[in-house]
Amino acid sequence: MKTQYKFALAAVGSFVLGGAVVQGLHAQGKPFGYFVAEVNVSNTDAYAKEFLPLAMKAIKDSGGKYLVGGGKTVSLQGTPPANRVVVIQFESLDKVQAWWNSAARKESQGIGDKYATFRTYAVEGFSQ
């Protein structure tokens, strides 16, 4: 009788472990979502002091990770980008849209609009 319990316990344990592995592999296959913005800043000091702290907090609270946040840009072909380019990585495109629709993001955007103009979009990355 004890042998039957060991086999049953081993079978249940294997099933649970297999399910966890499959779930982990499935999660790895989901592509990241990227938020991209081209920003023309008209008042750098006010933008940095009033807008960026709120915007960065809303992004962090939503699970976003800054990959590019301003810095030097070099135009290689076509129309040059704005004076500031931002790329933020999220867990998925759905997470980008959830952040975009959040109250915190909308609040910060109202302040950002005073000091800059934005061209923004989201794009889905390759499966991992």
CATH number for the domain spanning 44: value is: 3.30.70.100
pLDDT at 9 over 50: no
- Do 23 and 35 lie in one domain? The reply is no
pLDDT at 66 over 70: yes
> Which residue segment(s) compose the domain that 26 sits in?
1-30
- Do 120 and 69 lie in one domain? The reply is yes
Q: Higher model confidence: residue 12 or residue 99?
A: 99
- The DSSP code for 32 is P
- The DSSP code for 63 is T
Q: What average pLDDT does this structure show over 15-25?
A: 48
- Please give the tally of structural domains in the chain: 2
- Do 20 and 65 lie in one domain? The reply is no
Q: b/e for 87-105, b at 16 or more Cβ within 10 A?
A: ebbbbebebbebbeeeeeb
Q: Higher model confidence: residue 67 or residue 22?
A: 67
- Do 74 and 17 lie in one domain? The reply is no
pLDDT at 13 over 60: no
- Do 44 and 60 lie in one domain? The reply is yes
Distance CA 1, CA 109 (A): 67
Q: What is the pTM of this model?
A: 0.74
